[in-house]
């Protein structure tokens, strides 16, 4: 028997057991319950560990205490930067004359769309495979696999002799990016204290902003200042994936929530205590018996597949569950929002060529300024995500993004085909506002997607989002490639698409999850096999997911 109580000190719901259950637990393993009386589950324990290392009177001491934990989030942030670099670094390469001659053979529109689109197909396939695979492989292993594929792909692209080899390697890089997208945000979500989850997810996502600045600065140095080959540029772009692989392998543990759902209680307790130690916590540790008692009420039996047929069946089952009646609405809204946002943002792959064609001065330098504006959007996310809420921030950001690109469209169309060099400042200002807004949009989407799916379906849900994003981005890439001679229309189309996502968020609002715990098991269809059911004693609803009575 369980009941849900409001924890006034932390501002989130914690699961506590009735007195009968407590007395039984104390009689069987008294020391376990006494030592963790302030932390009945993993979320409670991590929040308690975080709060116990708060020193408002000495922020420097507090920072030193939590520095190992912050280092772990930085490692995941670098992996996030590697993910975005795998996707966006091609934009400068497509605009390079040497690449156009060596690989594209002068066919910039169709060839550029091919090498960019094939990467998104790789992201699609990688997401389909990675999401369900995390159910028995874990988030950490999938993330390491994605980083490895990305590093190898980017490194071998430097030696590609023709477009066939290059597109094949870009596909494998997309596989890595799909795996990274399916694992980074769920992992950060599950190792963060509930009350600070929005901040830490936003902080990890902040590093893809730094990745954008990094790839712009490297393009300026390599292409504009020194006039080096695009092959050297791609070799440098492989560095974040290599560094991310090393740091994640060294610093990041597996998600304790995932391990608990797998009934690996000893490993779950070890992982949770390791996270608490990284926060500087020196109090009583959480024991495997406590985790076992908590997750006794969350029965989720998953068979371990032994052959490819069983693995395919399990993957199909995971996607069927995520489309169940209790999750269907949330799932459809999230996937539609993701597809619309990514379709709008696919114009960024052509931004260098657009600016060059309309006569923008100092394209490399101005793109650095634009990317630096993303810092404002990421900072706004870290400050306001847990304050005004995810939904409200998403709507504000999408509206600003739409207005900024619509303004650029008006500027271009009102110039009657003349050189726009004299309007460079105004265009760069609008583009900077768009980059800041888009950064906030993508971070909000990442936070909402990871929170609104329960733990047993979280990676599958995030992977499905990356699949929808890749498919939408693939189609949009070819559409923008066909409109490369009509930049005003391209910006208008991008503005309209992201405005639709804003309207959809207003018409179909998602459950606001600020300061709330995430669910572990969602309600599954009643006609599922008994070996694939979930039960929670009591009746409650978290994140819009209903639980069996």
Q: What is the CATH number of the domain that holds 374?
A: 1.20.1250.20
pLDDT score recorded for residue 397: 93
Q: Using an 8 Å Cβ cutoff, are 476 and 343 in contact? A: yes
> Is it the case that residue 467 has pLDDT exceeding 60?
yes
For residue 51, being part of any structural domain is answered with no
Pairwise CA distance, residues 527 & 535, whole Å: 14
pLDDT in tens, 509-520: 888 877 677 776
- CA torsion sign for 96, 101, 104, 108 is positive
Q: pLDDT tier at 498 (50, 70, 90 boundaries)?
A: very high
Q: pLDDT tier at 187 (50, 70, 90 boundaries)?
A: very high
For residue 233, being part of any structural domain is answered with yes
For residue 34, being part of any structural domain is answered with no
> Is it the case that residue 309 has pLDDT exceeding 70?
no
Segment 412-421 shows an average pLDDT of 72
pTM of the model: 0.73
Distance of CA 12 to the CA centre of its chain: 23
For residue 522, being part of any structural domain is answered with no
pLDDT score recorded for residue 407: 94
DSSP 3-state helix, strand, coil percentages of the chain (rounded to 5)?
Answer: 75, 5, 25
pLDDT in tens, 95-104: 888 998 889 8
For residue 468, being part of any structural domain is answered with yes
> Is it the case that residue 38 has pLDDT exceeding 70?
no
User: How many domains are contained in the chain?
Assistant: 1
> Is it the case that residue 437 has pLDDT exceeding 90?
yes
- Higher pLDDT pick, 435 / 95: 435
> Is it the case that residue 469 has pLDDT exceeding 60?
yes
For residue 120, being part of any structural domain is answered with yes
Q: Using an 8 Å Cβ cutoff, are 44 and 14 in contact? A: yes
**Could you give the C-alpha distances from 203 to 197, 200, 528, in angstroms and in order?**
10, 5, 39
Lowest mean pLDDT among 73-77, 421-425, 436-440: 421-425
Q: What is the CA radius of gyration of the chain?
A: 24
Segment 80-84 shows an average pLDDT of 89
> Is it the case that residue 378 has pLDDT exceeding 60?
yes
Q: Using an 8 Å Cβ cutoff, are 238 and 154 in contact? A: yes
Range of the domain at 372: 60-257+300-507
Beta bridge partners of 14: 5
Which three-class secondary structure string do you get for 454-477? CHHHHHHHHHHHHHHHHHHHHHHH
pLDDT score recorded for residue 221: 93
pLDDT score recorded for residue 390: 85
Which string of b and e fits 161-197 if b means at least 16 CB within 10 Å?
A: eebeebbbbbbbbbbbbbbbbbbbbbbbbbbbbbbbb
Q: pLDDT tier at 36 (50, 70, 90 boundaries)?
A: very low
Pairwise CA distance, residues 155 & 97, whole Å: 20
> Is it the case that residue 217 has pLDDT exceeding 50?
yes
- Higher pLDDT pick, 379 / 398: 398
Q: pLDDT tier at 497 (50, 70, 90 boundaries)?
A: very high
pLDDT score recorded for residue 5: 38
Pairwise CA distance, residues 90 & 85, whole Å: 8
Q: pLDDT tier at 298 (50, 70, 90 boundaries)?
A: low
Q: Of the segments 192-196, 324-328, 393-397, 469-473, which one has the largest average pLDDT value?
A: 393-397
Pairwise CA distance, residues 327 & 522, whole Å: 8
Residues 6+ apart with CB under 8 A from 274: 253
pLDDT score recorded for residue 6: 36
pLDDT score recorded for residue 520: 66
Q: pLDDT tier at 387 (50, 70, 90 boundaries)?
A: confident
For residue 326, being part of any structural domain is answered with yes
For residue 96, being part of any structural domain is answered with yes
pLDDT score recorded for residue 121: 87
pLDDT score recorded for residue 20: 36
Q: pLDDT tier at 13 (50, 70, 90 boundaries)?
A: very low
**Could you give the C-alpha distances from 169 to 59, 149, 165, 348, 481, in angstroms and in order?**
47, 10, 6, 21, 21
In whole numbers, what is the pLDDT of the chain averaged over residues? 80
> Is it the case that residue 483 has pLDDT exceeding 80?
yes
Angle at CA of residue 340, ends 339 and 342, nearest 5°: 65
Task: Find the length of the chain.
Answer: 549
Pairwise CA distance, residues 127 & 466, whole Å: 6
Number of other CB atoms surrounding residue 291 within 10 Å: 28
pLDDT score recorded for residue 416: 67
**Could you give the C-alpha distances from 486 to 111, 149, 289, 355, 491, in angstroms and in order?**
18, 36, 64, 12, 9
Lowest mean pLDDT among 2-6, 121-125, 294-298: 2-6
pLDDT score recorded for residue 308: 63
pLDDT score recorded for residue 319: 67
To which H or E segment does residue 546 belong? strand 545-546
pLDDT in tens, 273-292: 999 999 999 889 999 888 88
């Amino acid at each position: 028997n369980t009941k849900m109580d409001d924890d006034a000190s932390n501002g989130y719901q914690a699961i506590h057991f009735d007195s009968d259950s407590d007395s039984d637990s104390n009689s069987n393993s008294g020391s376990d319950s006494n030592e963790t009386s302030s932390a009945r589950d993993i979320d409670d324990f991590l929040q308690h560990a975080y709060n116990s290392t708060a020193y408002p009177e000495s922020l420097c001491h507090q920072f030193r205490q939590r520095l190992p934990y912050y280092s772990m989030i930085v490692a995941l942030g670098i992996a996030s930067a590697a993910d975005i670099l795998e996707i966006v670094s091609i934009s400068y390469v497509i605009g390079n004359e040497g690449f156009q001659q060596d690989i594209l053979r002068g066919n910039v529109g169709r060839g550029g769309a091919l090498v960019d689109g094939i990467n998104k197909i790789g992201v699609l396939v990688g997401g389909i495979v990675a999401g369900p695979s995390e159910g028995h492989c874990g988030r950490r292993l999938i993330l390491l696999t994605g980083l490895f594929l990305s590093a190898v792909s980017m490194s071998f692209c430097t030696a590609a002799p023709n477009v066939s080899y290059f597109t094949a390697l870009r596909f494998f890089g997309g596989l890595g990016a799909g795996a990274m997208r399916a694992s980074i945000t769920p992992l950060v979500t599950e190792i963060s204290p509930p009350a600070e989850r929005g901040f830490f997810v936003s902080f990890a996502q902040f590093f893809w902003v730094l990745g954008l600045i990094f790839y712009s600065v490297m393009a300026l140095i390599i292409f504009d200042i020194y006039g080096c080959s695009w092959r050297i540029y791609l070799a440098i772009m492989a560095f974040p994936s290599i560094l991310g692989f090393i740091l994640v392998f060294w610093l990041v543990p597996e998600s304790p929530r995932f391990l608990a759902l797998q009934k690996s209680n000893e490993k779950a307790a070890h992982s949770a205590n390791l996270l608490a130690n990284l926060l500087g916590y020196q109090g009583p540790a959480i024991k495997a018996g406590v985790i076992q008692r908590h997750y006794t009420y969350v029965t989720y039996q998953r068979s371990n597949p032994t052959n490819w047929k069983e693995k395919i069946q399990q993957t199909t089952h995971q996607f069927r569950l995520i489309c169940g009646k209790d999750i269907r609405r949330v799932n459809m809204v999230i996937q539609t929002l993701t597809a619309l946002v990514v379709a709008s943002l696919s114009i960024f792959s052509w931004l260098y060529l657009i600016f060059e064609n309309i006569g923008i001065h100092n394209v490399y330098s101005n793109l650095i300024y634009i990317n630096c504006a993303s810092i404002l959007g990421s900072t706004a996310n870290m400050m306001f995500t847990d304050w005004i809420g995810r939904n409200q921030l998403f709507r504000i950001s999408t509206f600003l993004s739409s207005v900024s690109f619509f303004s650029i469209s008006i500027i271009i169309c009102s110039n009657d085909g003349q050189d726009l060099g004299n309007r460079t400042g105004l265009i760069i200002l609008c583009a900077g506002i768009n980059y800041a807004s888009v950064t906030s949009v993508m971070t909000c989407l990442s936070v909402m997607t990871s929170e609104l799916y329960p733990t047993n379906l979280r990676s599958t849900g995030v992977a499905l989002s990356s699949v929808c994003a890749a498919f939408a981005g693939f189609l949009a890439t070819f559409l923008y490639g066909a409109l490369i001679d009509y930049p005003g229309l391209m910006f208008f189309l991008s503005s309209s698409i992201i405005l639709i996502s804003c309207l959809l968020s207003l018409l179909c609002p998602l459950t606001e999850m600020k300061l709330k715990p995430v669910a572990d098991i969602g309600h599954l269809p009643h006609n599922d096999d008994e070996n694939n059911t979930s039960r929670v004693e009591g009746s409650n609803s978290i994140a819009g997911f209903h639980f069996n009575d």
